[in-house]
Amino acid sequence: MAKDAESESVSSFENVHHRPHEAEELVGRSSEILKVGKMIGQAASSDAPILLTGETGTGKELLARIVHRNSRRKDEPFVVVNCAHLSPEILELELFGRGEKTDGSSEPAAKLELCRGGTILLDDIGSMGLSTQNKLLTFLKKVEIGAAGNQTVKVSPRIIASSSRDLSKSVSEGKFMQELFYNLRVISIPVPPLRERKSDVPLLAHYFLKRYRERDKKVAARISADAMKLFMACPWPGNVGELENNIYSAVVMCQSEEILPEHLPIFYEGRLEAQIDLQQGKDDYSHLLIQTLDPIRSKLFHDLKGKVHHRLIGSLEKALISMALKHCQGNQVKAAHLLGLNRNTLRERILRFRLRKKETPSK
């Protein structure tokens, strides 16, 4: 990647002083991520609760850290509580502690008390049980927490919640308290999936390459064109986190200066998926076609509206015939047999698609 592109890979925030940090940069120049950066910049200066929504791996914790680092609370604690990883009982203890404790025993401080004037991220809050939700709502109204000797302690942490679930749907299903939802959603920031900002993929890939190459002192210094094509074709269901892990794996496994497709876990995952589908008698190529076409999906349906099926089927047939002729070194009889077509049909397709004669000798 060009040096100037790398130097401009980190989006700027409006009215926010940005201090470089290895793990706290919002990388990208797409309109989608610049919009998120602007919202983060505006939100950081306030104390209002924030709700970050988006798929797993989109970087919601990163955004919460950026908010904290650019707020007036930056010198106070930043605490993360993952609501999905704890049982309801343990989660309540983590957040609120044991208010009735009187024996002076040493117990970890409640997380809400621990961060006091700092920021607390309630990650995957959609997993929180209704009882804990009710207690959290009460806390948000009173801004106090139980302490030793049946006392209460005034605390004022900045609340940031994140969710990969649709909380409005959870509210309608009775799984999430409506009032709590509104209290947390004072500022709502949707985080786009990586497939919706594909132009950021090269920037992210080079950013992670530089980070892990320097940190682990590895030789990998660039990404091959074929590897980058694979990156651009991948739908990235695990989003930025999945891309980062692929780069990290490639940096560790690559023994040369250039990262090739075979150094990437997604290269083998695609092959394995196709093999499993083939063994089970399933359509073993549709997912590969989806990966190829997904990056241009919007343009495809916009430009070819009403003609998508006709044009794509024709293009696919032309590509298959061209590949078969090349594989058979131009022998039409062998190519027709390989494709399952009779020779006359193949000849008609060759004329229709205007394939070069030098590729199609009439053997």
The pair of three-digit structure tokens given for residue 130, joined into one six-digit string: 């209704």
Q: What pLDDT score does 98 carry?
A: 75
Of residues 300, 343, 280, 231, the one with CA closest to residue 1: 231
Tell which of 292, 317, 351 closes a domain.
292
Q: What pLDDT score does 295 carry?
A: 61
**What's the mean per-residue pLDDT of the chain?**
83
- Asked if residue 208 has pLDDT above 90, the reply is yes
Whether residue 297 lies inside any domain: the answer is no
Tell whether 163 and 223 lie within a shared domain. Answer: no
Tell whether 144 and 209 lie within a shared domain. Answer: no
Domains in the chain: how many in total?
A: 3
Q: Is the Cβ–Cβ distance between 26 and 33 less than 8 Å? A: yes
Taking the C-alpha atoms of residue 157 and residue 85, their distance in angstroms, rounded to an integer, is: 22
User: Which ranges of 200-342 would DSSP assign to H, the alpha helix?
Assistant: 201-216, 225-233, 239-253, 265-279, 286-293, 297-303, 308-327, 332-339
Whether residue 299 lies inside any domain: the answer is no
Tell which of 192, 219, 251 closes a domain.
192
Give residue 75's identity as a one-letter amino acid code: D
Q: Is the Cβ–Cβ distance between 161 and 177 less than 8 Å? A: no
Any idea what DSSP says for residue 151? E
Tell whether 94 and 155 lie within a shared domain. Answer: yes
Q: What is the domain range of residue 226?
A: 195-292
Taking the C-alpha atoms of residue 157 and residue 117, their distance in angstroms, rounded to an integer, is: 5
Taking the C-alpha atoms of residue 191 and residue 41, their distance in angstroms, rounded to an integer, is: 14
Any idea what DSSP says for residue 45? T
Whether residue 170 lies inside any domain: the answer is yes
Q: What pLDDT score does 213 carry?
A: 94
Taking the C-alpha atoms of residue 23 and residue 69, their distance in angstroms, rounded to an integer, is: 12
Whether residue 298 lies inside any domain: the answer is no
Whether residue 231 lies inside any domain: the answer is yes
SS3 content of the chain, % helix, strand, coil (to 5): 55, 10, 35
Tell whether 182 and 259 lie within a shared domain. Answer: no
CA distances 282 to 139, 271, 317, Å, are 53, 14, 21
List residues bridging with 123 in a β-sheet. Answer: 82
Q: Is the Cβ–Cβ distance between 144 and 154 less than 8 Å? A: yes
The CATH number for 215's domain is: 1.10.8.60
Question: What's the pLDDT band for 286 if we cut at 50, 70, 90?
Answer: confident
pLDDT tens per residue across span 296-343: 777 778 788 888 888 889 889 999 999 999 899 999 999 999 999 999
Taking the C-alpha atoms of residue 145 and residue 149, their distance in angstroms, rounded to an integer, is: 12
Whether residue 300 lies inside any domain: the answer is no
Taking the C-alpha atoms of residue 83 and residue 60, their distance in angstroms, rounded to an integer, is: 14
Tell whether 111 and 157 lie within a shared domain. Answer: yes
Of residues 85, 55, 80, the one with CA closest to residue 237: 55
Taking the C-alpha atoms of residue 155 and residue 160, their distance in angstroms, rounded to an integer, is: 15
Whether residue 58 lies inside any domain: the answer is yes
Taking the C-alpha atoms of residue 43 and residue 141, their distance in angstroms, rounded to an integer, is: 21
Tell whether 114 and 54 lie within a shared domain. Answer: yes
Tell whether 130 and 170 lie within a shared domain. Answer: yes
Tell whether 171 and 73 lie within a shared domain. Answer: yes
Tell which of 164, 192, 220 closes a domain.
192
Longest Cα pair distance anywhere in the chain, in angstroms? 95
Tell whether 88 and 227 lie within a shared domain. Answer: no
The pair of three-digit structure tokens given for residue 319, joined into one six-digit string: 């590509």
Tell whether 103 and 123 lie within a shared domain. Answer: yes
The pair of three-digit structure tokens given for residue 264, joined into one six-digit string: 């990437």
Tell whether 13 and 130 lie within a shared domain. Answer: yes
Tell whether 134 and 181 lie within a shared domain. Answer: yes
pLDDT tens per residue across span 8-50: 344 433 333 333 334 467 999 999 999 999 999 999 999 999 9
Whether residue 163 lies inside any domain: the answer is yes
Question: What's the pLDDT band for 356 if we cut at 50, 70, 90?
Answer: low
pLDDT tens per residue across span 267-277: 877 655 555 45
The CATH number for 103's domain is: 3.40.50.300
Burial class of residue 148 in the structure, from the number of CB atoms within 10 Å of its CB (0-12 exposed, 13-18 middle, 19+ buried): middle
List residues bridging with 145 in a β-sheet. Answer: 153
The CATH number for 316's domain is: 1.10.10.60
